[in-house]
Amino acid sequence: MDGVRLAAAGSGAVAVASSMNPVIKLEDFSKTYQSGEVQVHAVRGVSLSVMPGEFVAVMGASGSGKSTLMNTVGCLDRPTGGRYSLDGVDVTQLDRSELAMLRNEKIGFVFQGFNLLSRTSAVENVELPLLYARGISGREQYKRAMEALEMVGLGERALHHPNQLSGGQQQRVAIARALVNEPKLLLADEPTGNLDTQTSIEIMGLFQELNREGMTVVMVTHELDIAHYTKRMLIMRDGRLIKDEAIQNPLCSSEELAKLHAEQSAVALAP
């Protein structure tokens, strides 16, 4: 896999943590949805901190509250109970527009379905979050987008449209788009859910490299082997956090890719 050339990106697209305040601090966080007469307790009393430089997987059955947790952590929604601080800012106190500003400044999102605009090139997709940032010239936007694409190993595909790229390449474009604003936190909801095994391992390798450079990453996955590329696993059940443990020996993507290739050639050589 292409190396992630963070050092080459002049603007330092991944900010190394300068302080040791938690990036995420949830205290007795709950979220209750009112649907008609019924109250749905989607998340109940979750407390946890994520420090700068962590790489966390969130697991749990469908309906266990993972997306509700991610939406709150990503400032798309606010808690109905408890407190949430993002990089030292108490989110509970913010109104909708302040929440949106904080989100644009601090968070990069990666989705299962890539969510790229199909009629625009890779580099234009990556430039999108910068359109809302004031005081950045068009030329500078292009330059930053190109740097982010180079970081994910796709510099040469900048002018390709999504339908001219493989699934793994499209997810790389989406990761470049998430990085272009130099966020504090990268959030990914099932980022490998639409990818084959080899491509999933490659994408996990990219997250590992970004994390090694200092990026804090939190991702939802329902695959245990994917979670084992991270450093910490949270398990949700019925809105509660039932397990929070370090992963002792995370998988290494280059080793796993080598094993996969060896297996494939063994199959190809079999009579």
Q: Which segment (65-73, 116-124, 158-166, 179-187) binds Mg ion by CB under 5 A?
A: 65-73
Task: Output 45 or 63, the one with its CB closest to ligand ADP.
Answer: 63
- Binding at 68: pick from Mg ion, ligand ADP, none (beta carbon under 5-8 Å per type): ligand ADP
Query: Cβ of residue 264: shortest distance to ligand ADP, in angstroms?
Result: 33
Contacting residue, 64, 67, 72, 211, with Mg ion by CB under 5 A: 67
Q: How far is CA 23 from CA 97, 166, 212, in A?
A: 21, 33, 16
Cβ-contact 139, 147 below 8 angstroms: no
Q: 110 near 70, Cβ under 8 Å?
A: no
Q: Which is nearer to Mg ion, 68 or 208 (CB)?
A: 68
The answer to the question of residue 221 lying near ligand ADP (CB under 6 A) is: no
For ligand ADP, the closer of residues 62 and 97 by Cβ is 62
By the rule CB under 6 A, 65 interacts with ligand ADP: yes
**248 is a site residue for ligand ADP (CB under 6 A):** no
Provide the Cα torsion 92, 18, 216, 105; round to 10°.
50
The answer to whether 153 and 169 are in contact (CB under 8 A) is no
Please count the other Cβ atoms lying within 10 Å of the Cβ belonging to residue 233.
Answer: 18
Contact of residue 177 among ligand ADP, Mg ion, none (CB under 5-8 Å per partner type):
none
Q: What is the SS3 string spanning 103-131? A: HHHHEEEEECCCCCCCCCCHHHHHHHHHH
By beta-carbon proximity to Mg ion, the closer residue of 122 and 234 is: 234
DSSP state of 6: T
Count of residues near ligand ADP by CB under 6 A: 12
- Smallest CA-to-CA distance from 191 within 181, 180, 201 is with 201
Residue 68: count other Cβ atoms within 10 Å of its Cβ. 24
Of 30 and 121, which CB lies nearer to ligand ADP in the complex structure?
A: 30
CB of 194 to ligand ADP, least distance (A): 16
Q: Contact between 64 and ligand ADP (CB under 6 A)?
A: yes
Pairing relation of β-strands 107-111 and 240-246? Answer: unpaired
Pick one of 30, 67, 125, 221: the residue that binds ligand ADP (CB under 6 A): 67
Among Mg ion, ligand ADP, none, residue 200 binds (CB under 5-8 Å by kind)? none
Phi (first) and psi of residue 199, to 5 degrees: -65, -35
Question: Exactly one of 10, 18, 19, 62 binds ligand ADP (CB under 6 A); which one?
Answer: 62
Measured CA to CA in angstroms, residue 21 lies from 50, 53, 173, 218 at distances of 9, 11, 30, 16
String marking each residue 30-59 x if it binds ligand ADP according to CB under 6 A: ---x-x----x-x-----------------
Residues that bind ligand ADP (CB under 6 A): 33, 35, 40, 42, 60, 62-68
